[in-house]
Amino acid sequence: MSRTVLMLPGDGIGPEIVAEAEKVLNRVNEKFSLDLHFESALVGGAAIDETDSPLPDETLSKAEKADAIVLGAVGGPKWDSLPMAKRPEKGLLGLRSNLELFANLRPAILYPQLASASSLKPEVVSGLDIMIVRELTGGIYFGQPRGVRNLEHGERQGYNTYAYTESEIRRIGRVAFETAQQRGKKLCSVDKANVLEVTVMWREIMEDLKREYPDVELSHMYVDNAAMQLVRAPKQFDVIVTGNMFGDILSDEAAMLTGSIGMLPSASLNSQKQGMYEPCHGSAPDIAGKGIANPLATILSAAMMLRYSLEEEEAALAIEAAVSEVLDQGLRTADIMSEGATRVSTREMGDAVLNAL
């Protein structure tokens, strides 16, 4: 069964890291006879420069047809002064929303080989393994109305709308409960139900779903407390589920607890398990083109793709084992470098993973 994977390099370090992921995917494609076909397209700032749109029609139509997508990253100072509707980020948000990629899975895992990279004490983070399930196509990211209006007395007011329907909450809730079932069976739903009506409803629906998943222990936490608890004692968490905006903040905070955000992949899935896979880190324009970026988060995103969208668990495991092996070998890109290790470039890291495969 032939399947198509769309590669979207994007901006900044995107092209460099996606190139390494493609090398790795080509290798497992052969080795495991996966019959994957690769296409590529423009998105974000790169697409703006060529076509004046962050999400050209051609890219969207290729994305809709693909079985899965690997994305590098979008954005950079070059496009920062563009109006909201023309920014690189709209390319990413447009893909998420057009493909209905509502379920964003963001693991925060501490690799034992990289424990010293964390700014937290070893005993606080060793063995850390959290999965954040973030709602990705609703909430304040997409709520209407939004904009800037002139008030009667002459001044302007900026406004956005944080909204969720019951069915939007229910479908992300199910993904979270199912994820918890496959892991430690503990789910913490994060909201601000003491202030925001929309999250009161969120909490109610999570409580409601609980009855369908009696083996999962559900708890609730206010977002401010969750931001604290992640710093204080992150290992108390197994799976966290939350809305788009809180998920943006908490998943980045959780990722940084590991000290090695250059290692963390993510998956964004729709209900047909079609998915977009990208590193948690951004486009890092300051180091773009220098060949020093860490390609492992993107390579691990490709592994997640094999697992979730293409159901090629064996190939996924092979990539993950290869990444673990290069870490064991002491190979490190600049971002995760530590004393006694061997510093390698983006390409050398990709080659090392190939060799380990």
Residue written as token pair 């925001």? 196
Q: Is 284 annotated as a binding residue?
A: yes
Q: Which residue is nearest to ligand IPM (CB)?
A: 89
* Candidates 49, 159, 208, 224; catalytic one: 224
Residue partners of 85: CB distance under 8 A and separation at least 6: none
Q: Is 291 annotated as a binding residue?
A: yes
Q: What are phi and psi of 68, to 5 degrees?
A: -160, 160
Residue partners of 182: CB distance under 8 A and separation at least 6: none
CA distances from 127 to 119, 124, 251, 269, 307 (A): 15, 9, 17, 26, 22
Nearer to its own copies, 175 or 190 (CB): 190
* Candidates 11, 248, 277, 335; catalytic one: 248
Q: Does 221 bind ligand IPM (CB under 6 A)?
A: no
- Is residue 248 part of the annotated active site? The answer reads yes
Q: Is 328 annotated as a binding residue?
A: no
The angle formed by the CA atoms of residues 301, 305 and 309, to the nearest 5 degrees, is 155
Nearer to its own copies, 199 or 270 (CB): 199
Q: Which does 202 bind (CB under 5 to 8 A by kind): ligand IPM, its own copies, none?
A: its own copies
* Candidates 62, 111, 141, 213; catalytic one: 141
**What is the three-class DSSP state of 54?**
coil
Please pick, from the candidates 31, 50, 84, 311, the single residue that binds its own copies as defined by CB under 8 A: 84
Give the max Cα distance, the chain: 68
Q: Is 202 annotated as a binding residue?
A: no
Least distance (Å) between residue 352 CB and its own copies: 26
Q: Is 290 annotated as a binding residue?
A: yes
Q: Is 80 annotated as a binding residue?
A: yes
Q: What's the CA dihedral at 47, 49, 52, 56 to 10 degrees?
A: -10
The count of chain residues that interact with ligand IPM, using the rule CB under 6 A, is 7
CA distances from 53 to 7, 63, 83, 206 (A): 18, 15, 12, 38
Q: Does a cis peptide bond (omega within 30 degrees of 0) precede residue 145?
A: yes
Q: Does 233 bind its own copies (CB under 8 A)?
A: yes
Q: Are the beta carbons of 237 and 183 closer than 8 angstroms?
A: no
Q: Is 96 annotated as a binding residue?
A: yes
Nearer to its own copies, 185 or 235 (CB): 235
Site for ligand IPM in 47-76 (CB under 6 A): 75
Q: Which does 11 bind (CB under 5 to 8 A by kind): ligand IPM, its own copies, none?
A: none
CA distance 158 to 71: 31
Site for its own copies in 35-64 (CB under 8 A): none
What's the burial of 223, exposed, middle or buried (CB within 10 Å: 0-12/13-18/19+)? buried
Site for ligand IPM in 82-141 (CB under 6 A): 89, 92
Please pick, from the candidates 195, 231, 233, 317, the single residue that binds ligand IPM as defined by CB under 6 A: 195
- Is residue 23 part of the annotated active site? The answer reads no
What's the burial of 152, exposed, middle or buried (CB within 10 Å: 0-12/13-18/19+)? exposed
Q: Does 192 bind its own copies (CB under 8 A)?
A: yes
Annotated binding site for Mg(2+): 224, 248, 252
Interaction site with its own copies (CB under 8 A): 75, 84, 87, 89, 93, 119-121, 124, 140-141, 143, 146-148, 151, 155-167, 192, 194-202, 223-225, 227-233, 245-246, 248-253, 255-257, 259, 261, 282
Residues designated as active site: 141, 192, 224, 248, 252
